[in-house]
């Protein structure tokens, strides 16, 4: 692809010449996912209307159930926007400078929290909906919350089962949690991960010097779904023979590469890949990440520009 994007311009950082990168993972606009989003939004609107109607009738159980279902579907719609093509639309404020006694000042890039929060609240909504629907039927309050508005035990049992499944998923989130941070320093790249299972904590800390990196490559983890697929960007730091034992590094594969799961980070993956590649081949410019305006190095392009690039990529693919 011939299109490239300015990562940094004179307005953002006067001391640096423009850095340009070629998008590896275009932010494509998906009509299929948009259609799914419309269906989910309409479903959420129906739940909201049902809650409002039940409130007028004084039906507390139905109000709780429909309100919970509205919250779950609305947040599911919000989370699905990234699959439509609306993601990494602005520079995250959580990309900041960090300071380490040994490594100095660098750029700190944490994981996305929004996906986790949306999932937790949505699951809570669906769990409340299912369990409330079953409770309302079992106690004889009514059957309006059952899937087909039928007064039957099977429908109530299925709603209870669904509610319990979402409740178990919430419990899994509470039991297992991982926090990951990637830091870029003038001297190298650090990947820090802290995993919690119940009250047990385990820390993984890997630092790779620029001198130990032979190359920085892009990769994609494709997740097959019932309808279509989701591509998740990965960045591989290829290690040379002088690097410490690979088994001691986090996310190391047999190819001697430290893998950064770019999909989970708040930085736009193409910008992160481009910055890492630039710093690897330009040792004299690595101090850019220690500047006060270093986060601007990871500023993403506008959605309009992204969709233009995606259309160009699709056109070039057809011409091949």
Output the pLDDT for position 143: 54
Output the pLDDT for position 13: 46
Q: Are 177 and 253 in contact (CB under 8 A)?
A: no
What is the chain's pLDDT, residue by residue, as a tens digit (320 residues)? Answer: 445 555 544 344 434 444 666 678 877 777 777 888 899 999 999 889 888 888 887 777 778 888 998 999 999 888 888 777 777 778 889 999 999 988 999 999 999 888 888 888 999 999 998 888 888 878 776 555 555 555 567 777 888 899 999 999 888 888 887 888 999 999 999 998 888 787 778 888 888 999 999 999 998 887 766 555 677 889 999 888 766 654 444 444 556 788 898 888 999 898 899 999 999 999 999 999 999 999 999 988 776 777 676 667 656 655 55
d(CA 214, CA 237): 8
Output the pLDDT for position 14: 38
d(CA 72, CA 51): 13
d(CA 231, CA 78): 19
Among 31, 21, 36, smallest CA distance to 79 is for 36
Collapsed DSSP state (helix, strand, coil) of residue 273? helix
Residue 285 phi/psi, 5-degree rounding, is -110, 5
Radius of gyration of the chain (CA): 24
d(CA 254, CA 15): 40
Among 241, 189, 192, 183, smallest CA distance to 210 is for 189
Q: Are 260 and 267 in contact (CB under 8 A)?
A: no
**Residue 197 β-bridge partners:** 176, 200
Q: Are 79 and 118 in contact (CB under 8 A)?
A: yes
d(CA 279, CA 186): 8
């Amino acid at each position: 692809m011939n299109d490239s994007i300015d990562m940094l311009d004179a307005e953002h950082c006067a001391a640096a010449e423009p850095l340009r990168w070629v998008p590896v993972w275009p932010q494509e606009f998906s009509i299929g996912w948009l259609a799914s989003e419309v269906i989910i939004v309409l479903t959420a609107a129906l739940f909201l209307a049902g809650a409002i109607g039940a409130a007028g009738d004084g039906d507390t159980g139905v109000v709780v159930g429909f309100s919970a279902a509205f919250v779950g579907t609305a947040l599911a719609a919000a989370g699905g926007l990234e699959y439509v093509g609306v993601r990494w639309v602005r520079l995250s404020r959580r990309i900041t400078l960090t300071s380490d006694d040994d490594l100095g000042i660098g750029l700190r890039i944490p994981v996305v929290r929004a996906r986790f929060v949306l999932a937790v609240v949505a699951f809570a909504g669906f769990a409340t909906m299912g369990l409330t629907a079953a409770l309302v039927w079992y106690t004889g309050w009514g059957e309006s919350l059952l899937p087909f508005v039928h007064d039957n035990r099977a429908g109530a049992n299925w709603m209870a089962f669904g509610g319990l499944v979402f409740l178990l998923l919430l419990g899994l989130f509470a039991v297992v949690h991982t926090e990951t941070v990637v830091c870029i320093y003038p001297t190298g790249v650090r990947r820090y991960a802290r995993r919690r299972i119940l009250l047990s904590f385990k820390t993984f800390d890997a630092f790779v010097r620029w001198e130990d990196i032979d190359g920085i490559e892009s990769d994609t983890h494709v997740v097959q779904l019932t309808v279509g697929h989701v591509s998740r960007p990965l960045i591989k730091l290829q290690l040379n023979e002088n690097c410490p034992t690979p088994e001691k590094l986090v996310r190391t594969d047999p190819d001697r590469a430290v893998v950064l799961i770019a999909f989970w980070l708040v930085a736009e993956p193409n910008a992160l890949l481009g910055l890492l590649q630039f710093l690897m081949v330009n040792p004299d410019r690595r101090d850019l990440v220690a500047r006060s305006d270093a986060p601007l190095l990871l500023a993403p392009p506008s959605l309009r520009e992204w969709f233009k690039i995606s259309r160009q990529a699709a056109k070039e693919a057809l011409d091949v």
